[in-house]
Amino acid sequence: MPETVLVTGGAGYIGSHACVALLEAGYRVVALDNLSNSKREAIARIEEIAGASLVFEQVDLLDRAGLEALFRNHAPNAVIHFAGLKAVGESTEQPLRYWQNNVGGSAVLLDVMRRSGVRKLVFSSSCTVYGAPETLPLTEEAPLQTVNPYGRTKLAVEEMLRDLHASEPGWNISILRYFNPVGAHPSGMIGEDPLGIPNNLMPFITQVAVGQRERLSVFGGDYPTRDGTCIRDYIHVLDLVDGHLKALQWLEGKPGIGAHNLGTGQGQTVLEVVKGFERATGVSIPYDIVERRPGDAPAVFADPALARRELGWSAELGIDAMCADAWNWQQKNPSGY
Ligand code: NAD
Ligand code: UD1
């Protein structure tokens, strides 16, 4: 029997790409999502791309009885836990919702896993747990410090996982700290589908390119970087999900608990991303340099050496593929799913 993986948040941006990769690798997939930030259509498209079917359950993580029934009915062997709320600005306006959903939801999931005897977990964390970095590139040893409620919920779940592992060493847990996931499946059938005005750079660029927004605002042109705009470590979502498959294999060696950065190690400025997009797609992106966005660090990029060494993973795809695939998805789905 192939291993059955429960993917929480399986209809979301990264979760949908992970479901495709898991099905293609021969896993049985059970996807759970409350569809609060995603559409059911994503599930049909996952199956179409992979040429295989999965089990989809519309369940909220806070619905303990629903989760228990799912574990009874589908008996997963491992869980990849993507489900969560992720908008930084919204988290400062609705902190309790973020704590309840991200931390409370994870606590229910872990308890149901325990009671069901499932102790293999991959958790979606974020480079946001490093706050504004003091030294670059960021290794996993860098101090953890968070600067907004979203980040604090991610760090709180990491700490909950370390406490759980200390109390019951039978757990094997992979914490993956993502840098900036962008891009889409090359089929253009699944991708990032933000509600309303995008907060993040790449979806904003693709919406300008498709004519839904007039101009990009570049937040700050006077940072101490090579062109004055902020540096981030953009990573193709396909590389990112490959990291999850490698992490599942790593868990087979019973490593206990560990955290790994998933980034390319290559920082790009905002203007380099704009130029990369124009180069990869032939579409020009009009922009204005405006005020800095509060809370932005000048530069954030990973040292991905530990993931290479321990997981046998490294990112393969560059900024041109990230831009071309994001654009392909946006063009084929101008208003999302
Ligand atoms: P997403 O919003 O597209 O996917 C998350 C999914 O979880 C959504 O489909 C949503 O409906 C679902 N969900 C939320 N709360 C739920 C609940 N209580 N019960 C059931 N389903 C619930 O986001 P994404 O970009 O795919 O991110 C996935 C994970 O990766 C999140 O935990 C996020 O914090 C983390 N992460 C994302 C990024 C990024 O830039 N996209 C960066 C770092 C970390
Ligand atoms: C944001 C979140 C971070 C989260 C990450 C996930 C904030 C403050 N941080 O990080 O917690 O883990 O997403 O990918 O929201 N930019 C523009 N114009 C735009 C949008 C963005 O110039 O319209 C710039 C930003 O100033 C930044 C860069 O583009 O320098 C990337 O921004 P974004 O995609 O929002 O990601 P992060 O800020 O790295």
Tens-digit pLDDT profile for residues 54-64: 999 999 999 99
Beta strand pairing call for 180-182 and 172-178: unpaired
C-beta separation of 65 from 90 below 8 A: no
Q: Give CA–CA dist 198/90, Å, rounded.
A: 12
pLDDT digits (tens, 9 = 90+) for 74-85: 999 999 999 999
Q: What is the pLDDT of residue 163?
A: 98
Q: What is the pLDDT of residue 283?
A: 96
For the chain, the average pLDDT equals 97
The residues facing 289 across adjacent strands are 218
pTM (2 decimals)?
0.98
The predicted model gives 210-233 an average pLDDT of 97
Q: What is the pLDDT of residue 118?
A: 97
Query: Cβ(33) to ligand 1 under 6 A?
Result: yes
150 catalytic, yes or no? yes
The predicted model gives 271-277 an average pLDDT of 97
Domain extent listing, the chain: 4-184+234-265+303-316
pLDDT higher than 90, residue 285: yes
105 CA distance to ligand 1 middle (Å): 12
Q: What is the pLDDT of residue 1?
A: 64
Given the CA of residue 232, which atom of ligand 2 is nearest to it?
39
**142 phi and psi, to 5 degrees?**
-60, 150
Class of domain 4-184+234-265+303-316: alpha beta
From the list 13, 150, 223, 234, the catalytic residue is 150
Q: Give CA–CA dist 199/111, Å, rounded.
A: 33
Closest C-alpha to 118, from 21, 3, 34, 29: 3
Q: 141: which DSSP letter?
A: T
Q: Give CA–CA dist 160/281, Å, rounded.
A: 43
- Is residue 263 very low, low, confident or very high in pLDDT (cuts 50, 70, 90)? very high
Q: Give CA–CA dist 83/102, Å, rounded.
A: 8
Look up residue 7 and give its amino acid. Answer: V
- Is residue 2 very low, low, confident or very high in pLDDT (cuts 50, 70, 90)? confident
103 CA distance to ligand 2 middle (Å): 23
Query: Cβ(126) to ligand 1 under 6 A?
Result: yes
Q: Which residue has the tokens 């996993």?
A: 140
The predicted model gives 8-26 an average pLDDT of 98
Q: What is the pLDDT of residue 32?
A: 98
Question: Quick one: which ligand is closest to 58's CA?
Answer: 1
24 CA distance to ligand 1 middle (Å): 22
